[in-house]
Chains A and B, each alone.
Chain A
């Protein structure tokens, strides 16, 4: 990934070359988006509207959220024009 271009000379505290901070946001989730691959028409609306941009293209057939970071907000399910995404309680998966 491209690194800090302009402030490199400022000092070690401003060098973002080190691994980025990352919070386990997948752990916040109470519901997870589950995609019905048959209903998915591969339009990508779920991907563009996901605030954390973790809905990924799977080949050329469907889209799927990265559950390590998905916060479970439900925007993808709401915006899917085909209703292909269902939010299911995390309790179902333990």
Chain B
């Protein structure tokens, strides 16, 4: 009986090889996707990683308060404008000192896509050997839910409210993962919390690929507080984001895109938006605009993955080695 029961255990548990370095009672909102992601990373990659990141919802916990800490990891807090530049300094120091470790630059979408994008882009060009993880909660949550470049069309935030003039954000979201993959860095991937085995595999792949240079993970991590969602729905939101192709799961080695999960019959994006108050006001026409955007981006992704398989990648790019 006991053995039969063991056989059914989810294989995700096999990836959790290390201790949770965080204290049990940590001040993230109930149902926060970021909290699950943050506890998951060191349990998969090990507790000897060095994390660096900027002011955001993750910082109060990662940085600690007064002279006490919420976790036992090494953390280096930086400004929003210089996250990837600071991570560059760290990896170069460790390399000079002969220390072989993993540096993880961990930031929200506001830092990665907007305020700290310049130096992220620079680190990608120089192919710095660290892992950059962006947790995407589609806005500047820590300062009171302002819109960011990855906030989707129609979503209400405190800077894109619903009223007589504006009806949520009237711009399309930017595709951060794709624009990083286009830099032909050793490894780029998207991931989310409903597919934890996929996330674990990608973390481990990134740890390996960082020996060849810059790695970027774009992780969709719902924020129930900012999105007006039921905290219990966090995982379901991720699942539907994947099933509607709102957030497709793929990876790219040296820029070559490969889908890691294909959805046979994608659901309409309305089945995703209905779970959050930030989309409440959207009419059928508004949803159609969002749907068109999702379809367009997915089509582009599919096209790129086919095209890239046909094109010969220059050897110099394929074997891009250590930075100078």
Contacts and interface: CB of A to CB of B under 8 A. Distances in A.
Given A47-B13, A51-B36, A73-B231, A24 B74 contact: no
B324 interface: no
B296 interface: no
**How large, as a class, is the contact surface on chain A?**
35 or more
Contacts of A74: 31, 230-232
Contact of A53 (B9, B20, B33, B234): B20
B36 to A, nearest CB: 4
A79 interface: yes
Which of A21, A72, A79 is the most central at the interface, judged by chain B CB atoms within 10 Å of its CB? Answer: A21
B36 A60 contact: no
Contacts of A26: 25
B72 A3 contact: yes
Interface stretch (B61-69, B210-218, B244-252): B61-69
A79 to B, nearest CB: 6
B165 interface: no
A60 B25 contact: no
Contact of B72 (A4, A13, A23, A28): A4
Given A24-B25, A51-B39, A52-B39, A78 B236 contact: yes
B17 to A, nearest CB: 13
A62 to B, nearest CB: 9
B293 interface: no
A6 B69 contact: no
Contacts of A75: 31, 231-232, 234-235
A41 B224 CA distance: 29
A23 B24 CA distance: 8
A12 interface: yes
A92 interface: no
Given A6-B74, A20-B72, A73-B231, A43 B24 contact: no
Interface string A1-43: 1111111000011001010111111101000000000000111
Given A6-B50, A48-B13, A52-B39, A22 B24 contact: yes
Given A2-B48, A42-B8, A71-B30, A12 B67 contact: yes
Given A72-B30, A73-B30, A1 B72 contact: yes
Given A7-B76, A75-B231, 15 more contacts: A1-B21, A2-B19, A4-B74, A5-B48, A7-B74, A16-B73, A18-B69, A20-B69, A26-B25, A43-B9, A52-B24, A53-B36, A66-B24, A69-B25, A75-B234
